[in-house]
A and B are shown apart, each in its own frame.
Chain A
Amino acid sequence: MINNKTYDVVIVGSGISGAVMAKTLTQAGKTVLLLEAGLTAGISLDRNGDYQNYVDYLNTFYIASAKVPNSPYPNIKDAPSIDVLDMQPISGPNSPSTSGYLVQAGPLPFASDCLRGPGGTTLHWLGSTPRMLPNDFKMKTLYGQGVDWPISYEDLMPYYEMAELEIGVSGNVNDIHWPEASNKQEQVELTNKFYGKDYVFPMEEIPTSYIDGVFTKLVAEVNTKNPVKVSGKDTKIKFSTTPQGRNSVPNKQYPYRDITWDSKTKKLVLQKDKYWCPETKEVVDSPLDEKYEYLPVGATWDPNTGQRCEGNASCVPICPVQAKYNALKTLYKSDRHKITIKTQSVASRILYDEKTGQVTGVEYKTYHTADSITYDTNIAKGKIYVLAASAIENAKILLASNAANSSDQVGRNLMDHLCLLTWGLLPEKGFPFRGPGSTTNMSSFRDGDFRKEHAAWICPIDNWGWGWPVFSPGSDLSNALAKNMFGKELRDQLADTLPKQLLLHYECEQLPEPDNRVTIDPAYRDQIGNYRPVIHYDASDYMKKAFETAKNINNQLFKATGTQDFTFYSPTLTADYVGYQEQGYNFWGAGHIVGTHRMGASKKDSVVNKDSRTWDHDNLYLVGCGNMPTLGTSNPTLTMTALTFKAAEAILKQLEK
């Protein structure tokens, strides 16, 4: 069956990248068809239905025995999600692990997941939103590693500001530490240069956790009395507070209220005294007598819920009050008269004219009910097409279509932050298991000449005890029971130790490597005949050397702060276990799935140009973290959202040519 309506733009996926597209394009008056693979129940334009569905997610989370990122959300056989619970060791070169949606060919299993469902992965993301550092865009030039970006940090600055408004970032610009600053003045100068002199985030900084205070104080003493030695040199450890997409108190100095399309200049503009009015569907002036103050965006079912983070401490996998940003908040701001949403509709292929390269349609399969084996196949038509199905899925759809791949880079350069976790008991109680997942990070090793030798990292202080590596507090209970503890002795033992738990994660920047990649194989398909992604993945010595260095620094820090080390690594702890210089290390995935259709300056070695348009197809754009040529040490979504605004601008320009 062919649906013959032609939209201005067809978008695949309703995650943050698809939602930002849909909102920006429809508010600029363009018609959009949004294809979403997940269940219809997950997108409800009626508030009551929206709330009921969210309560179902929450109850599913409560009863999940393993509260992993995807645990609250349905996993549908017609559009399966990658799930960390499916991760297994890979036994040999030709025996991939196939227990989950991914076919893991190894040698190491890829350790991150994402959510295929309305709203996408931001439903379960943590919400940390640091910008990348200016040097991250020039890895090849500065450090001889990876590649340079085709754009600079400065090029991206206005779009970063748009992303920070859209997500609703809370933070303190003056508390972001620059690794290269050697004194206060340099610190201030760099902030002024790279954020603008008076720039502030939409909301004040989220209060840092009590455990942040305990640990950073201990480290400050170490810095003065007994500094950590790195390559024989005394090194002071610095911390930054983490900007994040969760609601706090509005910053009265924040001036922007909306992002609008200006047809005349052909630019997206951050507006101070104009905004797009949902009633009149046009850009209007703010009332003259109104003193503007940023208004936190609350829950999708009730704007008054989630106006502030309430400290539920469950941001991953679900924020009960939606104080944390998720993409549905953006999607619901779309002009509802201009957007058509088709759910349970899984894009399978891009169709294009072999001669001109013009994309002529997206083939998609609409399944009837969850897990059903019956479906209809349709073709969606638009002037322009946008894939926003997340990094692995975008690459897979392109490979299945034999599209956009003249560079042979589609699917390659798959990256993640490889997280080396360390855990111990603080000498005093820090009271973890409270508040947002992380509020402060160790930022000293985000940049430096060492990047010639090994990966840089950011190291968040975790606010949730040892939950991630060893499933605390449940495991602490079972360990105590294994020793036959019970009664008051058991209670006292847990009460004494749980509040002292400290967890750090050294999130190391993986470089783009051609053999870390997504491929397809006709032998592996899902229930409705779509390809399952086949993943080839490994950790190079550049990563392992970072593990060694980070662990060495960590050991010194634990010792000097009196933190009793409980870290252990073993092949049974996680399937990602690597050896380096006679030491074993486990690493964990960060959920930062990046790089599978990278952006570049040349058609020869990249898939999209700096506007996210594919080199091979004039009317096909790709959005999402797959565009990022390198990863830096920032959580990627803010940067990706900035790139998405830039892409939306390019699309509007192309449509209005």
Chain B
Amino acid sequence: MESNKKSADIFLDISVFLTGFNKMELLGTGMLETYFNVVMNMNNVASVESFLAESEKILIKNQGNEEKINNEILHKLMPDSLYNGLAKNIITMWYMGNWMNTVISPQSYVQGLIWGVAETHPPGAKQPGYASWSTAPKTVQ
């Protein structure tokens, strides 16, 4: 349990740097636990563990230095050849609610981060109300 909790924390910390969203925003989706379980269950465990170990190393070593962290992520996590492309799959999961090409759950679709980035809402959910589309989104007004 302990080690699982720790792994989930690292997963969240590295997700912040992978997605460009802060911890509060990621937690706000309510999807952390689901996504962490998907990562653990849908992949080779050894590979996930070494991905998380590498992530932890990067985060601790460069603590407070965003540029260095990003540089190491680019070379040590992002390349497709590493960890079966896990980093990109994690980003896609947060943005789209998908694992590979499958939508994880109705909730994950609705919680996709991409819709907020596009200054809109997931089609078919969180409807913004009559005539909302005729003005610029509230976020920029």
Contacts and interface: CB of A to CB of B under 8 A. Distances in A.
Interface stretch (B36-44, B57-65, B104-112): B104-112
6 contacts: A311-B130, A313-B123, A313-B127, A313-B133, A473-B115, A486-B88
Nearest to B137: A431
Given A487-B18, A491-B117, A498-B118, A434 B95 contact: no
Contacts of B95: 477
Interface string B123-141: 1110111111111110010
A498 B103 contact: no
Given A311-B130, A312-B124, A487-B18, 11 more contacts: A58-B124, A59-B106, A63-B109, A65-B103, A208-B134, A310-B127, A311-B132, A313-B124, A320-B125, A473-B117, A478-B92
A434 B106 CA distance: 20
Interface of A: 58-59, 61-65, 67, 207-210, 213, 248, 308-314, 318, 320-321, 429, 431-436, 439, 463-465, 473-474, 477-478, 481, 484, 486-492, 494-495, 498-499
A311 B138 CA distance: 14
A486 B79 CA distance: 11
B133 A434 contact: yes
B134 to A, nearest CB: 4
A486 B96 contact: no
Contact of A474 (B96, B119, B134, B140): B96
B131 A486 contact: no
Contacts of B130: 207, 248, 308-311
A488 B103 contact: no
Interface of B: 17-21, 70, 73-74, 78-79, 87-88, 91-92, 95-96, 98, 101-103, 105-106, 109-110, 114-115, 117-121, 123-125, 127-137, 140
Given A311-B127, A487-B17, A63 B134 contact: no
A484 B76 CA distance: 12
B70 to A, nearest CB: 6
B39 to A, nearest CB: 16
Contacts of A62: 103, 105-106, 109-110, 124-125
Contacts of A58: 106, 124
Contacts of A67: 123
B134 A321 contact: no
Contacts of A494: 114, 117-118
Contact of A463 (B92, B101, B133): B133
A500 to B, nearest CB: 10
Contact of B127 (A64, A320, A429, A499): A320
Tell me if A's interface is mostly helix, strand, loop or mixed. loop
B17 to A, nearest CB: 5
A481 B128 CA distance: 29
Given A312-B124, A435-B134, A494-B118, A486 B78 contact: yes
A489 B20 contact: yes
Contacts of A61: 124
Contact of B129 (A59, A311, A488): A311
A431 B73 CA distance: 32
A70 B102 CA distance: 17
B20 A431 contact: no
Given A207-B134, A491-B117, A314 B123 contact: yes
A318 B137 CA distance: 23
Contacts of A318: 124
A486 B120 CA distance: 21
Given A431-B120, A481-B91, A209 B133 contact: yes
B102 A65 contact: yes
A63 to B, nearest CB: 4
A314 B124 contact: yes
Contacts of A489: 20
A492 B128 CA distance: 23
Given A463-B133, A486-B87, A491-B19, A477 B92 contact: yes
A433 B124 contact: no
B114 A477 contact: yes
Contacts of B17: 486-487
